Amino acid sequence: MIFLRLTGCNLRCTYCDTKYAYYEGEERSIDEVLKKIHSFPFKYVEITGGEPLLQEEVYELMNELVKTHIVLLETNGSVSLEKVNPQVKIIMDIKTPGSGMSERNFLENLNFLKKTDEVKFVLTDRQDYEWAKNFIKTHRIKAKEILFSPACGILNPKELAEWIINDGLSVRLNLQIHKYIFGDKRGF
């Protein structure tokens, strides 16, 4: 998979693992980005940030990419999904209280999700876990896949796995694999 990280984020989550994405990066045209992506033999492209929907050009980029690739969009959920191409698979965060940004959830986005999309909760502690369980019960979530991710270095994945198993929750435990592979350093 090609992982395309765009610069800029409108949130400041307590556990952010990509603070460099707030400001760092190189400005490139859509043609330059497409050329680079087409130079790889991979079928999947995941667009993330920061918050990729803050850049207006991302919509045109996604529209071009769906012609040749399977496209995933990872978003913090604070910006409307209304203009996202329906062929794009959305992975949308629901910010929990432990993030410090739960009041920034744009809940109208739940209406734009498809069954094939995913909703992700990054959890910092048991209170976040209980909050997320309650959110699932009280909101209609069309997406079939619901991910629970332990905030790296804050919540022990084993502990979260035990809570999920004990409660028999129909969610997927999701780890930040890049942290296990690269640590605190950036990938390629």
Q: pLDDT confidence of 70, banded at 50, 70, 90? A: very high
Share of the chain above pLDDT 90, in %: 76
Q: Report pLDDT digits (tens) over 8-34.
A: 888 878 877 766 666 677 889 999 999
Place of tokens 């920061």: 50
Mean pLDDT of 47-54: 92
Identify the pLDDT of residue 122: 96
Per-residue 3-state assignment (H helix, E strand, C coil) for 165-186: HHHCCCCEECCCHHHHHHCCCC
Identify the pLDDT of residue 161: 98
Instruction: Tell me the β-bridge partners of 71.
Output: 45
**For residue 20, what are the CA distances in angstroms to 17, 25, 66, 144, 167?**
9, 8, 28, 32, 37
Burial class (CB in 10 A: 0-12, 13-18, 19+), 164: middle
**Residue list for the binding site for substrate:** 5, 48
Identify the pLDDT of residue 116: 96
One-letter amino acid at 138 equals T
**Residue list for the binding site for [4Fe-4S] cluster:** 9, 13, 16
Q: Report pLDDT digits (tens) over 143-186.
A: 989 999 999 889 999 999 999 999 999 999 999 776 666 666 65
**Crossing angle for the helix pair 57-65 and 30-38, nearest 10 degrees?**
30
**For residue 8, what are the CA distances in angstroms to 48, 99, 169?**
10, 18, 34
**Residue list for the binding site:** 5, 9, 13, 15-18, 48, 50
Mean pLDDT of 41-66: 95
Q: Report pLDDT digits (tens) over 87-137.
A: 999 999 999 999 999 999 999 999 999 999 999 999 999 999 999 999 999
CA distance 165 to 186: 32
Identify the pLDDT of residue 184: 61
> Where do the domains of the chain lie, and which CATH numbers do they carry?
2-182 (3.20.20.70)
Burial class (CB in 10 A: 0-12, 13-18, 19+), 166: exposed
**Residue list for the binding site for Mg(2+):** 18
Residues in the chain, total: 188
Residue 36 pLDDT more than 80? yes
